[in-house]
Amino acid sequence: MKVGIVGASGYSGEELVRLLAKHPDVELSMITSRQLAGQSASSVFPALRNMHEELVMSDSDVASLVASDIDLFFLALPHGVSVEYAKPLLEAGKQIIDLSADFRLDSADRYFEFYGEHPAPELLNQSAYIIPELADKSAFGFNLIASPGCYPTSLLVPLVPLARAGLINAQGIIANSMSGVSGAGKKLADTYLFAERNESVKAYGIPKHRHLSEVEEQLEKAFGAEAVIQFIPHLVPMNRGIQSSIIVKPKAGASLEQAYEAWEAAYADKPFVSILAKGQTPDTAEVVGSNRVDISIVEDMRTGNWIINSCIDNLLKGASGQAVQIMNVKYGFEETASLEP
């Protein structure tokens, strides 16, 4: 199957190139970047040396993409830009996995609250939001699939099974997350200079980070009720990785054993979710370079809270790795194809 990447110059685009170049079931046929157009792909991406020497970076021209014989496009573009490509590509019968926020929400009103006016609200009900371990199989049949954000993945993977099982309260959830600098993308801004970030931790996007929109929408589906979460993201001095600490109130009578049972029922056969034994907590160093989510839970007898911890690689399970995993499941490939650490 022929695949293409639109917007490959960012960190997520680079990871997509690396993963798709070695994938046994697809042919990486097109890589676009307006700023790198005309350069040989192997000179831009070392992962392609001696593999795809014939590939040349092409301009992100919509008409050329529509006219191509490529079956599936990965859109690694900023929010607000993906929609410009999605609409004509869908009309041309192409399949799309989008890594931006353009199609992660069902509600145009919620999108407006966090991002502004949606340029094509009619497409929101034509797309599916997919975390592979949690999505219904029918969702993979959509031609337009939204790959979740990095923070939401780190929060929803541990929370959704507990919500579906009725073990935790939908109100009063507090999440503190820490992300490596690559989560901000390739930006020329003072905030991301080495001298600014080294030996420094900074909270940002509070009290209403944009990722709250998809987290709360998905949690409301899981709870079947309104969900409110206090989300506090932090920028920390490391290249990549996300660690999330989540505080929840268990329902009366709910036990930690039931929480583990809910996780085991949801993830027993899922290759990219690792449930840590009691007493262990995940470490970003152990997931960086993998498409895995490590999760743990403890009970604080003093406060009555459950404390959940999760770790992911923000560029893999939080972005490109998850997008490739979605493709693998959608097309019946081995789910772990090209995603082994």
Tokens of residue 108, six digits: 């145009």
Angle at 328 between CA 326 and CA 331, to 5 degrees: 105
Could you tell me how far CA 45 lies from the centroid of its own chain?
Answer: 22
- Distance, in Å, from the CA atom of 189 to the CA atom of 186, rounded to the nearest integer, reads 9
Segment holding 110, helix H or strand E: helix 108-115
Instruction: Enumerate long-range contacts of 13-16, CB under 8 Å, 24 or more apart.
Output: 13/76, 13/320, 14/45, 15/315, 15/316, 15/319, 15/320, 15/321, 16/74, 16/76, 16/320, 16/323, 16/324
Active site residues: 150
Closest CA to 133 of 326, 334, 294, 337: 326
Query: DSSP E strands: which ranges in 227-327?
Result: 229-235, 242-248, 273-275, 293-300, 305-312
